[in-house]
Chains A and B, each alone.
Chain A
Amino acid sequence: MTNVTQWVAVIPTAVLGLGGMVLALAPRGEERIPAFGALALLLVALSVPFLFEGGYTAGVGASGVLNAGLFGAGFLHDPVTWFFTVLVLTGTLVVVAMSFGRLKSLGISSSPEYYGLLLMTSASAIVLVGAGELITIFVGLEALSLGLYCLCGSAVSSRRSVEGALKYFILGSFSSAFLLYGMSVLYGVTGSTELAVIARELVSVRQIPAIFGVGLILVGVFFKLGAVPFHFWAPDVYQGAPTPVTAYMASVVKAAALAMAMRLLWNGFGHNEVAGWWLGSAWTVALLTMIVGNIVAVRQRNVKRMLAYSSVAHVGYMTAALLPPGARAAGGGALLFYIVAYSVVTFGAFAVTMAVTGDRVDQPSADDISSFAGLSRTNPRIAAAMTLFLLTLAGLPPGTVGLVGKFYLLSVVVQSHFVGLAVVAAICSAISCYFYLRVISAMYVQQATDVTPPHFVSPLGTRIVIGSMVAASIILGLTPSFVHNRAQAVAHGVFVRQP
């Protein structure tokens, strides 16, 4: 415990949290100062996990058993934290690039607060990702959510933005109360808030209250992931929030929630006997999430709502891979790869949607599928990029990342004898082709119905994001093993052992 390098793992959080606070005080008006400040802080934070990778392995002892972690067991400096720290920071970098030059037209008048909040929210996401103890998980989750409520309503004069923030706030706080109640019950039964201790104790305590506590915590976790039947907030919030914030929620926040789910379900409630308590209900949630997400997405006219239901559906596939008790290393590797691939294409799809919406943020119909009509003629390259992103989400051939990611996930599910779930996932993927292809057909087949001049707006930041996401999805699709091997190694060190 005398090793100094292990404290390196908290530097990114500290840099973003403190830097974000200072950034929020920057003078209003000039967007460049806070944007470049955020960029610089993110690059500094991002250099830490790469320069001091040893700090993130110091927590794992020779036998693969985790040492105590930092701050008691509050913050675990293990490879999983490394992986998600890099993911969160890179994702935030992309969101900053997406937002730059567009804040005014999105209705966000105070850029310092926006970038400051973005950094502070990411700092909390890193806290949540590394949390190995119930109170830290709660504080990290709430700090993340509070930042998100503000970001979601940051276009204060837009009624839809504020309404999305309100719905997210009410339902989010409601679900955190359930999560917290579950935590207090678990503390009462096991006498500790540390996940490692809870995992050991749960086997031998009185079952009824323990199951009650675990169940309440699951409600909170599934709400944050946006799984059915706790998904009602997702479409409204995704549609109402400014598009860069929506992209942030669909990727970075989803990744952080996934990390929390993996730590709770596998490290906390992962013992074979304990897993039996939640396996059945989680199985049902996974099934419902896949079916409802894909079927309701078919009916959507608005692209942001459609992508929201599509994200619900993808959470369903991911939840299926959370189940297998015997295949956590493989399942963890597949999940980490999937969330990376999903984040890349989601960023791309939302960046294109934002460009197509252009300067018509006030019009409710501006991000409808009809706005994409004839895009292949007015902006052929952007239309091609969007086609790639949508095909990847559908898991169809040119978008190989999506295909490979789904293959990794479903092979874990099948190998653990959840064959029924895998079959439903395959059928649902087939259904999902319909609503993804609908946007593509609008771009390539339909004529632009709008007689007014095109509203397309793509400043440099948006174009960089679209271009780099195309490159990233092609590279990931051609050499998936590079990231997948890494993900597998990361998951193997943390999730493979029986608690």
Chain B
Amino acid sequence: MERIHTILAIAAITFAIGAVGVIVRRNVIVVFMCIELMLNAVNLSFVAFSQSVGNLTGQVAVFFVMVVAAAEAAVGLAIFIALFRTARSVESTSATELRL
């Protein structure tokens, strides 16, 4: 197996772990960590593709993704704090006010 395939496989596995984590975990902070894991898996695959394609666009994309992930963390944690203030918990099971 070529090196690029190994890296892409690692990226795909990491992405899958993150996706499963988002679905099965109940603590919203852990869920958010799993989303970050997915984004970083994408970063890895961007870098790997950048090398195989032979241009720098993929590496530039990683910087943009990192900035977006940081902004997302800021907004996400603010929402979690607001959730904790109103519901006294950061479990997603406590957010059940909205339903039919």
Q: Which residues of A contact B (CB under 8 A)?
A: 134-135, 138-139, 142-143, 146, 149-150, 153, 156-160, 162-167, 169-170, 173-174, 177, 180-181, 183-185, 187-188, 191-193, 235-236, 239-240, 299-301, 305, 364
Contact = CB atoms under 8 A, between A and B. Distances in A.
B98 interface: yes
Interface in B33-92: 35, 38-39, 41-42, 45-46, 48-49, 52-55, 57-58, 60-61, 64-65, 68, 71-72, 75-76, 78-80, 82-83, 85-87, 92
Given A138-B65, A163-B87, A173-B35, 19 more contacts: A135-B61, A138-B68, A143-B71, A159-B86, A163-B83, A165-B82, A167-B95, A177-B18, A177-B19, A180-B39, A185-B49, A187-B57, A188-B45, A188-B49, A191-B53, A192-B57, A193-B61, A239-B98, A240-B98
A179 to B, nearest CB: 10
8 contacts: A135-B61, A143-B68, A170-B22, A170-B35, A180-B65, A188-B45, A240-B98, A305-B100
Contacts of B15: 177, 181
A329 B8 CA distance: 39
Contact of B72 (A142, A167, A187, A305): A142
Q: How large is the interface on B (under 10, 10 to 19, 20 to 34, 35 or more residues)?
A: 35 or more
Contacts of B64: 135, 138-139
B100 A188 contact: no
B98 A160 contact: yes
Contacts of B55: 191-192
Contact of B71 (A146, A153, A183): A146
A181 B38 contact: yes
Interface string B6-34: 00100000010011001000001001100
Contacts of A165: 79, 82
Interface of B: 8, 15, 18-19, 22, 28, 31-32, 35, 38-39, 41-42, 45-46, 48-49, 52-55, 57-58, 60-61, 64-65, 68, 71-72, 75-76, 78-80, 82-83, 85-87, 92, 95-100
Given A162-B82, A185-B45, A300 B100 contact: yes
Nearest to A237: B98
Contacts of B65: 138, 180
Give the secondary structure class of A's interface.
helix
A169 B45 CA distance: 24
Contacts of B39: 177, 180
B31 A170 contact: yes
Contact of B22 (A163, A174, A301): A174
Q: Which interface residue of A165, A167, A170 has the most chain B CB atoms within 10 A?
A: A170
A192 B53 CA distance: 9
Contacts of B97: 159-160, 163, 240, 364
Given A170-B31, A187-B53, A191-B55, A301 B83 contact: no
A236 B86 contact: no
Contact of A181 (B45, B52, B76, B86): B45
A183 to B, nearest CB: 8
Contacts of B57: 135, 187, 192-193
Given A185-B45, A239-B98, A142 B32 contact: no
Contacts of B96: 163
Contacts of A157: 85-86
